[in-house]
Structure 1
């Protein structure tokens, strides 16, 4: 199984969750030191067979090589989890370019590179980590929210197109997720007013954990979710108020 952005936060929790279920997991992230540390820590924690590689997912050729190398190493690819985000929030053309290249296009490239391998699996799936910012207007309503919404649309199309091949596709949309070194820890330190406002919107009185989002991803990847495809699973502790019909 392949996970992008697997060295920290949600991605790392997904790697750990999949490995705990007995899966062999290849993950990537951009920072080589962070990847090496994550791999060592995951193995020390008993995560089983995990393999980390430093990859900039905005580099299409490098991403394709990683998919091919991982498939050769493990002999198969049963699932891909597209988790990387540029977190490009705010105005400016560069944020739009980064959000497109990293959030959306990396997911497309990952799927296209993995598709020949997924077609040989009897329990294949694609899961993209989107965001509640893709389904409602909030402080990230520019490039970030737009590309997260596009991810859900892309995955829904995949689900329909790939259903005859037995390949499922779903999205997971988390709300605020807090972890040391993450975006909300950074906001807490540098923009306490925004952090307090965001916290106040959470009816549970807290933000989510990476493990809580990872549970949703692992559940959708599981072959037991064989009839779940084309859905967007919101994991936000009732943060958002829109009704999904």
Structure 2
């Protein structure tokens, strides 16, 4: 199926590894032109070189917690590609655990980077023929688990924020959705680190997955790319859970 993304311009935060990298790859495979950012310059350069064989892509090193740098990246990307059709707020501080620093990091990186990305991109999205906003949250924003506290609270706030955007922006034809993945395993990811350093927690988490495994970045990326597509024109304000039936709450 042609998803209608050929030639569209997409911005993805955190595009060098894991879910973000898979999102960039998925969008490029559908013919989109993609700008991505991440914090580490060496990782950005390496990813850009590897991804360039798949399509038109541009990587930039920046800290999304820096509002001015984030806004400058959005403006530069829009100028380079001639507009913006899709924005994907993917970066997370992964600040799990107690302490004021974790609350600050979760607020600035998880929540406020999403808000700032949307606000910086809004003038360009308003000129797009098929604008779409997608934020990557987490099942930890839907129910209480080991990542309650700052991480879960800010992930829940993202869902609320995007739901409000969907309602407010519907008259302008701008869609806004959330994708909430469950446990996602990849090389260099948080769950690989937990597997190596906290095998008891890893075993507990694995035992909660009714599929008997954790998800892959590509499985979550599929949901994001689908929501980015103009074919999803009637889908807005949803929180699409991608967790292999991990969570037990009923969405009404």
- Tell me the TM-score normalised to structure 1 length: 0.99
Aligned to 1:73: 80
Aligned residues: 243
Alignment partner, residue 16 of structure 1: 25
What is the CA–CA distance in structure 2 between the aligned matches of 1:52 and 1:152, rounded to whole Å? 27
1:5 CA drift (Å)? 0.5
Give 1:82-161 correspondences, 5 Å limit.
82-161=89-168
Aligned-residue offset at 1:106: 0.3
Q: 2-side partners of 1:239 and 1:167: how far apart?
A: 31
Query: Which residue is equivalent to 1:183?
Result: 190
Alignment of 1:208-219 (within 5 A): 208-219=215-226
CA displacement at 1:177 relative to structure 2: 0.3
In structure 2, stretches of 5+ residues that fail to align are: 1-9
Aligned runs of 1:215-234 on 2, under 5 Å?
215-234=222-241
Name the CA distance, whole Å, in 2 between partners of 1:121 and 1:88.
34
Root mean square deviation of aligned Cα: 0.5
Indicate the SS of the match to 2:54: coil
Partner deviation per Cα, 1:42-73 (whole Å, 9 max, x = no partner): 12xx3200110001000000000000000000
Deviations along 1:102-140, whole A, 9 cap, x unmatched?
000000000000000000001001000000000000000
Q: Deviations over 1:7-65 (max 9, x none)?
A: 1100000000000000000000000001111111112xx32001100010000000000
Query: What CA distance in whole angstroms lies between the structure 1 residues aligned with 2:49 and 2:244?
Result: 32
Distance in 2, matches of 1:61 and 1:156, equals 25
Gaps of 5+ in 1: none
Counterpart of 2:3? Answer: none
Query: What stretches of structure 1 move > 3 A for 4+ residues in a row?
Result: none
- Secondary structure at the aligned position of 1:233 is classed as strand
Q: TM (normalized to structure 2)?
A: 0.96
